[in-house]
Amino acid sequence: MYKIAVVPGDGTGPEVVAEGVKVLKAVSEIHKFNYELEYYNLGGERYLKTKETLPDSILNDLKRMDAIYLGAIGHPDVKPGILEKGILLKIRFELGQYINLRPVKLYAGVETPLKDKGPEDIDFIVIRENTEGAYAGAGGFIKRGTPDEIAIQESIHTRKGVERCIRFAFEYCRKRNQKNKVTLCGKTNVLTYAFDLWERAFYEVAKEFEDIETDYAHVDAICMWMVKNPEWFDVIVTDNMFGDIITDLGAMIQGGLGIAAGGNIHPKGVSMFEPIGGSAPKYTGMGVVSPLAAISACQMMLEYLGETKAARGVEEAIMKVVKHDVRNLSAGKMGYSTSEVGDLVVKYIVES
């Protein structure tokens, strides 16, 4: 019996999470596993009413779950930073989810903005460090609001944090067993302290993985190669900030935010799975956004829980939907409503 916390959150989060839950139910009946859902109301609405972001009681509940399934956090009436830091980043940090796993995979049938590139070219995964770097929250103001003000925002890189992330990337690459190559994405030509540490840790850990090829690229160059030669990549490992940036680029080349999902992983703890698209306030309640990103996040959650066959079943159903039914995943352009797309996924799961 899996205990899964569901946090539908803001904007279109609840609509897409509902489809993921629908798919979970269908696949659990076929692959015979049991689960229990616990819903938590977190996000902008709660904050506006109560000034609470993530109460300790809920945080403690989350620590006792097998996984967390998240929709989206972000509200147009709440100042940027409050909900992100108070909910999303707080969960990542407090639950020690030190890996952010973001597959960039183009399914056959999905449109990519890259000319002359297809599914055989776009299939890699970004492993983003998820609890340190510029996200650590180290810094502050001096003389804020005066002409002499100073803002300091430090980027923290610990040997332990960097090394465990890199080791995770090599292990993941070995298990994935595709091109058997890990690319470190850094900026060793300018950030000569932080990425010196990353680079040394990278090549030291690499010695434990002689079957895996190593590769390095600066973050700016990676942005170029992801567009020009995405087929070069297998596993990319990088720090929190660079990982945040390059995974939005990754989402676009795999067909957009309507299909891109991610996992916030603590390999021995409680992990959280989410579509990476955000709350999309202007489409809220219209039933026009793609639920496939949220359904992919559900697939990643099943994989992580060890329900490998169920995860595979969900992925195959998604692949059928984009091949036969929905080619354009942009909001309002699918030709189906959010829940109809969820129904299509369920139909293919049941038929298989």
What tokens were used for 262? Answer: 């991610």
Q: Determine the interface stretch with ligand IPM among 81-89, 140-148, 162-170, 283-291 (rule: CB under 6 A).
A: 81-89
Binding mask 267-306 for ligand IPM (x = CB under 6 A): ---------x------------------------------
Residue 243 Cβ vs Mn ion, minimum distance, rounded to whole Å: 9
Binding test (CB under 6 A) with ligand IPM, winner from 19, 132, 239, 244: 244
- 84 near ligand IPM, rule: CB under 6 A: yes
Residue 87 Cβ vs ligand IPM, minimum distance, rounded to whole Å: 9
Residue 5 Cβ vs ligand IPM, minimum distance, rounded to whole Å: 18
302, 26 Cβ separation under 8 angstroms: no
283, 332 Cβ separation under 8 angstroms: yes
Backbone angles phi, psi at 115, to 5 degrees: -70, 140
Backbone angles phi, psi at 65, to 5 degrees: -90, 165
Give which of ligand IPM, Mn ion, none residue 132 binds (C-beta under 5 to 8 Å, depending on kind).
none
Residue 84 Cβ vs ligand IPM, minimum distance, rounded to whole Å: 4
**Quick one: 89 or 301, whose CB is closer to ligand IPM?**
89
**Quick one: 244 or 343, whose CB is closer to ligand IPM?**
244
Q: Burial letters for 123-137: b for 16+ Cβ neighbours within 10 Å, e otherwise? A: bbbbbbbbbbbbbbe
Backbone angles phi, psi at 276, to 5 degrees: -90, 10
Binding test (CB under 5 A) with Mn ion, winner from 10, 129, 244, 274: 244
- Judged by CB under 6 A, the chain residues 12 through 51 that form the site for ligand IPM are none
Residue 79 Cβ vs ligand IPM, minimum distance, rounded to whole Å: 13
- 316 near ligand IPM, rule: CB under 6 A: no
Residue 273 Cβ vs ligand IPM, minimum distance, rounded to whole Å: 12
Q: Residue 124 contacts by C-beta under 8 Å, 6 or more apart in sequence?
A: 103, 104, 105, 230, 233, 234, 235, 236, 250
What tokens were used for 62? Answer: 């989350």
Residue 236 Cβ vs Mn ion, minimum distance, rounded to whole Å: 15
Q: How far from chain centre, in Å, is Cα 78?
A: 23
Pairing assessment for the beta strands 181-186 and 213-218 based on DSSP bridges:
parallel
Binding test (CB under 6 A) with ligand IPM, winner from 88, 166, 288, 331: 88
CA distance 135 to 264: 14
**Quick one: 66 or 84, whose CB is closer to ligand IPM?**
84
Give which of Mn ion, ligand IPM, none residue 297 binds (C-beta under 5 to 8 Å, depending on kind).
none
Residue 323 Cβ vs ligand IPM, minimum distance, rounded to whole Å: 28
Q: How many residues bind ligand IPM (CB under 6 A)?
A: 5
Give which of ligand IPM, Mn ion, none residue 298 binds (C-beta under 5 to 8 Å, depending on kind).
none
Q: How far from chain centre, in Å, is Cα 306?
A: 18
Q: Which residues pair with 127 in a beta bridge?
A: 101, 237
Angle at 286 (CA atoms; ends 282, 291), nearest 5 degrees: 95
CA distance 222 to 215: 11
CA distance 16 to 24: 13
CA distance 296 to 259: 7
What 8-state DSSP symbol labels residue 86?
Answer: I
Q: Determine the interface stretch with ligand IPM among 50-58, 82-90, 190-198, 295-303 (rule: CB under 6 A).
A: 82-90
- Judged by CB under 5 A, the chain residues 116 through 175 that form the site for Mn ion are none
Give which of Mn ion, ligand IPM, none residue 84 binds (C-beta under 5 to 8 Å, depending on kind).
ligand IPM
**Residues of this chain that bind ligand IPM (CB under 6 A):** 84, 88-89, 244, 276
**Residues of this chain that bind Mn ion (CB under 5 A):** 244
